[in-house]
Copies of this chain bind each other. A is one copy, B any other.
């Protein structure tokens, strides 16, 4: 008897009718003889409502109270789904994070799962029950306080539960039917992938694909949890398989590039004519790191006069104003002549484990983009991906260009 985790997001449980549809998916797997744990998000809109109230109460809120309030959404859905399953004659019970427990760090609002004790869930399976687990939440045991895992955290809950109970696979049901070569709303020729490796999925999630939370892919990769991304809107009696995220070895026909991701959530900052002396990078990036501002792409070029240097880097758009403020206040200390910034930029990335064994993959992109008149502001590369920062206006053009260039377009 195989074990299975099924995860359903907010739009899949938006109302009682949709919760019944979720229950029909669960029933199919139970009838197939599986022991099933279901992980659910809050009904769509509920988390936003709760977050809105928290913000109305306090601008600089205590993250512990934020978590206590916001975690209630998943608690409601898990109870309701358990009731619908029972009504169908399927034994079920709901589990809140603290009841299992799902132990986390105390980083309230974006806590990390540290461990899940499978004993209570195993006892439920032995009684023949479906476990309906409230996603997105856990408990920090030393303080006994409820924690949440950050937006998209229910994906992480699902994969972590799958690892803890030794599930054969983890099915992430969502409002799309799988992982695509790129966003189909931007490139109508985007293809659904049958399989994608953990490492590629990790890069895609990190670089702007919103299908899965980054942390969930990390856990899946470390614990080798075979994870499907599939549609909750399929007919429960006749579902399509979706996309399997698995180990590289399982993927026979490997492309050089598997997907194109993009993120508009970027901002570019350039410091002109910095005195080129030791320790200058530390004087810039140290204070930013201390303020929890993550710096991504970094490029340093010697400026025209050869005695100074220009430094360009990117930050999350949400951190842009704070970062600029920091740098303005430290102009004398750092010793730059001019500070420039831009938020009308986009980061476009190509991802594929095939890059390891193929040279010149990125160079082909630079050439193709130049031919379309797309100016590249910055470049970063790593073993299995490269990213370019360009003007936001060229987003669609650049994504389509790279998608075609690497042979990802579906047959007409």
Name the contact of A62 in the complex, choosing from B62, B71, B72, B83 (C-beta under 8 A).
B83
- Can you list 21 pairs linking A and B with CB atoms under 8 Å apart? A16-B53, A16-B57, A19-B57, A50-B76, A53-B80, A54-B80, A54-B83, A57-B80, A58-B83, A58-B87, A61-B86, A62-B83, A62-B86, A64-B93, A65-B79, A65-B86, A66-B79, A68-B94, A69-B76, A69-B80, A75-B75
B80 touches A96 (CB 8 A): no
Would you call A142 an interface residue if the criterion is a C-beta within 8 Å of the partner chain's C-beta atoms?
no
Residue from the set A62, A83, A84, A146 with the largest chain B CB neighbour count within 10 Å: A83
| Residues of B contacting A146 in the complex (Cβ-Cβ under 8 angstroms) | 96
Closest Cβ of chain B to A96, distance in Å, is: 7
Q: CA of A276 to CA of B81 in the docked complex: distance in angstroms?
A: 53
Q: CA of A82 to CA of B145 in the docked complex: distance in angstroms?
A: 14
| Residues of B contacting A53 in the complex (Cβ-Cβ under 8 angstroms) | 16, 76, 80
Would you call A98 an interface residue if the criterion is a C-beta within 8 Å of the partner chain's C-beta atoms?
yes
Q: CA of A58 to CA of B79 in the docked complex: distance in angstroms?
A: 11
Closest Cβ of chain B to A13, distance in Å, is: 11
Which residue on chain B has the smallest CB distance to residue A98? B98
Closest Cβ of chain B to A101, distance in Å, is: 10
Would you call A375 an interface residue if the criterion is a C-beta within 8 Å of the partner chain's C-beta atoms?
no
Would you call A144 an interface residue if the criterion is a C-beta within 8 Å of the partner chain's C-beta atoms?
yes
Q: CA of A59 to CA of B68 in the docked complex: distance in angstroms?
A: 30
A82 touches B99 (CB 8 A): no
A83 touches B61 (CB 8 A): yes
Interface string of A41-80 (1 = CB under 8 A from B): 0000000001001101111011011101101110110111
Interface residues of A (CB under 8 A from B): 16, 19, 50, 53-54, 56-59, 61-62, 64-66, 68-69, 71-73, 75-76, 78-80, 82-84, 86-87, 93-94, 96, 98-99, 120, 144-146
Stoichiometry, as copies per complex, reads 2
B68 touches A75 (CB 8 A): yes
Q: CA of A56 to CA of B23 in the docked complex: distance in angstroms?
A: 14
Name the contact of A144 in the complex, choosing from B65, B69, B84, B99 (C-beta under 8 A).
B99
| Residues of B contacting A65 in the complex (Cβ-Cβ under 8 angstroms) | 79-80, 82-83, 86, 93-94
Name the contact of A58 in the complex, choosing from B57, B73, B76, B86 (C-beta under 8 A).
B86
| Residues of B contacting A79 in the complex (Cβ-Cβ under 8 angstroms) | 54, 65-66, 68-69
Closest Cβ of chain B to A289, distance in Å, is: 28
| Residues of B contacting A68 in the complex (Cβ-Cβ under 8 angstroms) | 75, 78-79, 82, 94, 96
Closest Cβ of chain B to A204, distance in Å, is: 35
Which residue on chain B has the smallest CB distance to residue A82? B65
Q: CA of A53 to CA of B19 in the docked complex: distance in angstroms?
A: 11
Closest Cβ of chain B to A123, distance in Å, is: 11
Q: CA of A354 to CA of B75 in the docked complex: distance in angstroms?
A: 50
Which residue on chain B has the smallest CB distance to residue A86? B62
Which residue on chain B has the smallest CB distance to residue A69? B79
| Residues of B contacting A82 in the complex (Cβ-Cβ under 8 angstroms) | 62, 65, 68
Which residue on chain B has the smallest CB distance to residue A52? B16
